[in-house]
Structure 1
Amino acid sequence: MAKTEPLNERAQHLLRVLIGRYIEDGKPVGSRTLSREARLDLSPATIRNVMADLEDLGLVISPHTSAGRVPTVKGYRFFVDTLLSLKPLGGNEVNILQQRLSVGNTEQGLITSVSDMLSGITRLAGVVTTPRREVTAWQHVEFLPLSDQRVLTVLVLNDQQVQNKVFTTDKAYSAAELQQAANYLNQTFSGKSFQQVREQLLREMHDAKTRMDQMMLAAMEMAGKVCDEDKPGEDYVLAGQSNLIGNAGLSDMDKLRELFEAFNAKRDILHILDLSHRAEGVQIFIGEESGYRPLDECSVVTSPYQVDGQVAGVLGVIGPTRMAYERVIPIVDITAKLLGAALNPRN
């Protein structure tokens, strides 16, 4: 983004008032409204001149349907970086967040609780990536038969993370056969990292037909499906998408449809979250800054959370560009700290 020329205090104040007003009601802000709310002894002509200067700098635009002005992505960025006064959460609010986090006693329960909590507090969409660790260890697997040759996999990782996956097999297996397969895999792979499991699978499947009976071969094939289809740390939990429907800042149904399709596809959203995973502190992507077209009218506010002193994942909020940044940013920041504390091993 091009560097914005320095603004004098009067121009900064008027821009702050304009953006604050626009975030509040979503309507273009005219000179008369600015004159009243800025509480400066300025003539309407002076305010119009300042607005023209801000428009020349690309910080505001005047929609063709209105004489008022609205902030641009560049204007929001200047506002967030320079003019924003954050509203820290009070002690009681932090205590409430801590209490709500204590509801989830498993890793997945905590991730789901945080996603729901972020969407509930901000009335936007809350997103939390599942923890990513340098070593993801296979602890235990169970296979349960379903109808139509489908099998439910219950996989335990790192002693506490539980993942479920349904896949289809080439033939129908009885519960006893699936139990035998699970026993074999648990004896073979328990305690090994996913990387070690994948490497051993490749080695053993290479000459499986000459060394394995049919049950062992089936077990290895099912293990391959688990490793191929379950990628620990490469997923997220999203809550509150419905909050974005009817939001005054996201009223274009075609763009909303694109956004919801992006949520379902996950790949590009995960890429954006991965950028935050590698950064420090709160990150804010405004509009097209994300580089992803479905988010052109959205802002994404994220923060990484840590487990055992290492960044394990990212959480955040997705909403319209005219979100209440002064409120959302502290919520995302403190929630990341609380989630990290809740996920760290308890003494």
Structure 2
Amino acid sequence: MTTQTIPELTDRARDVFRIVVESYLDSGAPVGSRTISRISALNLSPASIRNVMQDLEELGLLAAPHTSAGRLPTQSGLRLFVDGMMQANEPSAEERAAIEARASEAGPVEEALANTTAALSGLSACAGMVLVPKREPVLRQFNFVPLGGSRALAVLVGDDGSVENRVVDLPDGVAPGALEQATNYVSATFGGLTLAEALSRIGREIRDERAELDSAARDLIERGLAVWSEDGGNRPVLIVRGQARLLEDGAAADLERVRQLLDELEGKEEIARLLDSAREAQAARIFIGSENKLFALSGSSVIAQPVRAMDGRVVGVVGVIGPTRLNYARVVPMVDFTASTLARILG
């Protein structure tokens, strides 16, 4: 069965199809011919509408669930509607202000990302997601705290107020004084530098024998800086907010689907790969149902859009996930606006 394109549908079929899809996205319920005859200005009898709906069903655009006389769009029908018939509704002034306000709150960058994603989740009634490369903080303070045995805790304080910890294996035979010496040296010498810059600089100073450190302290500093640099380069930051919203808006009638979706949201690496696949898109990329294998079982839709800096670089991906019965016309522009807002933070 071949899915029709919009030009191949008759005007009557297009009108009936649009009404069915828009009514379904609004109510989540199958739409019957009598309902269409009441709410539309098509001047068609219920019998004529039924005939058109039957034709659309044979084309694979509509389906009749169970024994219901009503119809709802298939996945192919939703794809046809989204690609060829949807009329986008720009976010309201209040919605734009809510997103911008959360993005402008003081605090570390990741906190701003989380707040903005939460705002997107609340406005779209979906789970909000954002994926960005791990940002190397600019060093403000660096401490080594002994943990006993052959390990220490390296504590990094960034200039944005962020605090991160890593466990570092100590060099053999390191004396307690080496920890204090390394702490003082890093904080005094590398303040205002990124991790990569600090690691490169300590390497040069060691090679040029300008680092006034004993060998144990030098080894300790290199290990402490390297563990962050390697970890930051390999681990993107994925933030998911608003999973509880997936249980709202009548989802209690479809708890098994929502349970499956919540299980799928636990697969952070898979979600990161999915969002990353949208990096090269020029606009929002929409995955409907089984078009995306990760969320095929729950029958969910994902809208994802790259976040581009002023120079065109892709600095992240933002999106939402929810049921296939999304208000695409409203949510797609909302994701687009959020991407533009985040670009100012990440650019």
TM-score relative to the length of structure 2: 0.78
| Matched-pair contact (CA < 8 Å) for 2:170–2:220 | no
Matches of 1:146 and 1:326 in 2, distance apart? 56
Alignment deviations for residues 105-140 of structure 1 (CA, whole Å, 9 cap, x no partner)? 54223212211110111121111223568xx58646
Please give the residue correspondences for 1:194-273 in structure 2 after superposition, counting only pairs within 5 Å: 194=196, 213-231=215-233, 234-248=236-250, 252-273=254-275
Map 1:114-263 → 2, pairs under 5 A: 114-131=116-133, 139=139, 142-143=142-143, 145=145, 151=153, 153-154=155-156, 156=158, 162=162, 164-167=164-167, 178=179, 180-182=181-183, 191=193, 194=196, 213-231=215-233, 234-248=236-250, 252-263=254-265
1:73 aligns with 2:75: yes
Structure 2 stretches of 5 or more lacking a match?
A: 207-213
The one-letter code sitting in structure 2 at the alignment partner of 1:124 is C
Q: Which has the larger radius of gyration?
A: 2
- Pair 257,97 (structure 1): closer, same or farther in 2 beyond 3 Å: closer
Distance 1:34 1:150 in 2: 70
The equivalent residue for 1:61 is 63
| Distance (Å, rounded) in 1 between the aligned partners of 2:234 and 2:157 | 11
Give the distance between the partners of 2:175 and 2:14, measured in 1 at CA: 71
Equivalents in 2 of 1:255, 1:195: separation in Å? 48
TM-score, structure 1 length as denominator? 0.78
- Give the partner amino acid of 1:86: A
Tell me how far apart the structure 2 counterparts of residues 150 and 233 of structure 1 sit (CA, whole Å).
Answer: 22
Separation in structure 2 between the aligned mates of residue 112 and residue 11 of structure 1, nearest angstrom:
44
Select between 184-193 and 78-87 the one with higher mean Cα deviation.
184-193
Shift in CA distance, 261/2, structure 1 to aligned 2, threshold 3 Å: same
Q: Distance in 2 between matches of 1:191 and 1:343?
A: 18
1:86–1:330: 8 Å Cα contact kept in structure 2?
yes
In structure 2, C-alpha distance between the alignment counterparts of 1:295 and 1:167, rounded to whole Å: 39
SS at match of 1:277: coil
The residue type equivalent to 1:339 in the other structure is L
**Count of matched residue pairs:** 330
Residue in 2 that maps onto 1:334: 337
Whether the 8 Å contact between 1:4 and 1:57 is mirrored in structure 2 is yes
Verify the 8 A CA contact 1:106 1:161 in the aligned structure 2.
Answer: yes
Give yes or no for contact 1:107–1:161 (8 Å, CA) kept in 2: no
User: Is the partner of 2:115 in helix, strand or coil?
Assistant: helix
Cα displacement (A) at 1:89: 2.5
Worse overlay, 237-246 or 262-271: 262-271
Q: Distance in 1 between matches of 2:297 and 2:175?
A: 47
Whether 1:320 and 2:323 are equivalent positions in the alignment is yes
Distance in 2 (CA, whole Å) between partners of 1:61 and 1:270 is 33
- Give the C-alpha shift of residue 301 in structure 1: 1.3
Q: What amino acid is the match of 1:87? A: N
Letter in 1 for 2:103: L
CA distance in 1, matches of 2:287, 2:242: 19
Match of 2:49 among 44, 47, 50: 47
Q: Which deviates more from structure 2 when the two are superposed, residues 23-32 or residues 261-270?
A: 261-270
Q: CA deviation at 1:155?
A: 5.8
**1:318 is aligned with what amino acid?**
I
Alignment gaps of 5+ in structure 1: 205-211
- Distance in 1 between the 2:175 and 2:249 partners? 50
Single out whichever of 323-332 and 145-154 deviates more from structure 2. Answer: 145-154
Decide whether the 8 Å contact of 1:58 with 1:72 is kept in 2: yes
Contact 1:35 1:44 in 2 (8 A): yes
Distance change in 2, residues 1:127/1:177 (3 Å): farther
| 1:264 match: secondary structure | coil
* CA positional deviation for 1:265: 2.7
Q: Alignment partner of 2:281: what SS?
A: coil
Determine the C-alpha separation between the residues in 2 that align with 1:89 and 1:250: 28
Name whichever of 274-283 and 139-148 sits farther off.
139-148
Per-residue deviation, 1:274: 0.8
1:249 shift after superposition: 5.4
Question: Does the C-alpha gap of structure 1 residues 257 and 294 become closer, same or farther in structure 2, counting only changes over 3 Å?
Answer: farther
Moved segments of 4+, more than 6 Å: 146-150, 173-176
Question: Out of 97, 105, 123, which is 1:103 matched to?
Answer: 105
Distance 2:168 2:260 in 1: 30
Change (3 A) 1:89 1:196: same
2:261·2:298 contact (CA, 8 Å) conserved in 1?
no
For residue 303 of structure 2, the aligned residue among 282, 301, 310 is 301
Structure 1 pair 329–196 and aligned structure 2 pair: CA distance change class (3 A): same
